[in-house]
Amino acid sequence: MINLELPKKLRASANQAHQVAQEIFRPISRKYDLAEHDYPVELDTMAAMVEGLADSGTQKIGGAAGGRSDDSAADRHATELLGNTNGGNMSALLNALETSWGDVGLMLSIPYQGLGNAAIAAVAADEQLKRFGKVWASMAITEPSFGSDSAAVSTTAVLDGDEWVLNGEKIFVTAGQRSTHIVVWATVDKSLGRAAIKSFVVPRDAPGLSVARLEHKLGIKASDTAVLLLQDCRIPKDNILGSPEVNVEKGFAGVMQTFDNTRPLVAAMAIGVARAALEELRSILTAAGVDISYDVPVNNQHAAAAEFLRMEADYESAYLLALRAAWMADNKKPNSLEASMSKAKAGRTGTDVTLKAVELAGAIGYSQRTLLEKWGRDSKILDIFEGTQQIQQLIVARRILGKTSAELK
């Protein structure tokens, strides 16, 4: 059964991530919100620290590179005996939550811990893990012709001798300019539909890869969001993640496994931002003389206190759903349903909590005197990328009702 008490090892790692969020991210949060597209140079020092921790075997501070447990052989043997573990996915989720509490845009800018790293961890062969284990990988899925329907990928990959030749345009690529590698989703045969969609690791210096522009955004301004062009872009034959063979019966399952790892991480980002807003709001309400009690019925409390308790309950449920999805991944249990549930709940909770916090804080919340208005802007993307709220609900409905994508659209 799932154990909701975090192991000492993960508590220590999460505490490290919280210290980074508090001491490094929070003090520069507003600075880079006002200086969109400027590179956060303060993260270079942090990157060196993360590298040192990784080399020493300590858990990663960032969140997006989860996927496989780094436990020792003895730990894995104990896990097999007990049938229960909290590994790489749980660690990545907790660290993503804590660093996003500090600043989610900066969290997405941590060098060498991009969303593409989770894709590599989920799908790559052992030899590829050795080659790509220390890269900074962004993930390129969305195209001008589609958003959440990942099966509609039109970027092509054609095998030419010992190289894949990629052609297409990718938009809204997080860390698309700064990363060292990009995990690109492309089809190897359009006539075979979604089964032919594969993911490829494209080095930054690959011929034919270019950055067309950087987007100006509502939130997460510390993170660069790029439009990438692939024009006869050539990469080595063995840079395809997983098997190059098209298995029509297996369909889209291979590349979609990536989302089972990354959606709980995005949920954790939303949970981290929501917790930051709740803490700030509580301080403001307390200073205004509003008492929040857990012993008095909600209907007998101040209206603002009642709203706070409602939002806190939503936060707790989103947190527990995300923990369950990560725990299932670490224990090799299919978690597609739970990953989408956690992403849907956390995404909706994040926007609700942050915007309601702005409202309840009044003029203070709407001004730049606190970070509340920034968190309100940052939270919206967390309900959109890695699959929108509507897509998550559709996936949940399909899983619960036992319907295929063709039967329930």
Strands (E), 5-144: 137-140
Angle CA(214)–CA(217)–CA(218) in degrees, nearest 5?
A: 175
User: Strand 163-174 and strand 225-236: pairing?
Assistant: antiparallel
- Candidates 98, 280, 338, 386; catalytic one: 386
CB-CB contact of 106 with 32 (8 Å): yes
Please, is 115 exposed, middle or buried when counting C-beta atoms within 10 Å of its C-beta (0-12, 13-18, 19+)?
buried
Examine the residue annotation and report whether 215 is marked as an active-site residue of this protein: no
Largest distance between two CA atoms of the chain? 74
Please, is 26 exposed, middle or buried when counting C-beta atoms within 10 Å of its C-beta (0-12, 13-18, 19+)?
middle
What backbone phi and psi angles, to 5 degrees, belong to 130? -70, -40
Alpha-carbon separation of residue 133 from 25, 114, 119 (angstroms): 25, 12, 12
Q: Which amino acid is at 256?
A: M
Angle CA(178)–CA(182)–CA(185) in degrees, nearest 5?
A: 145
The catalytic residue positions are: 386
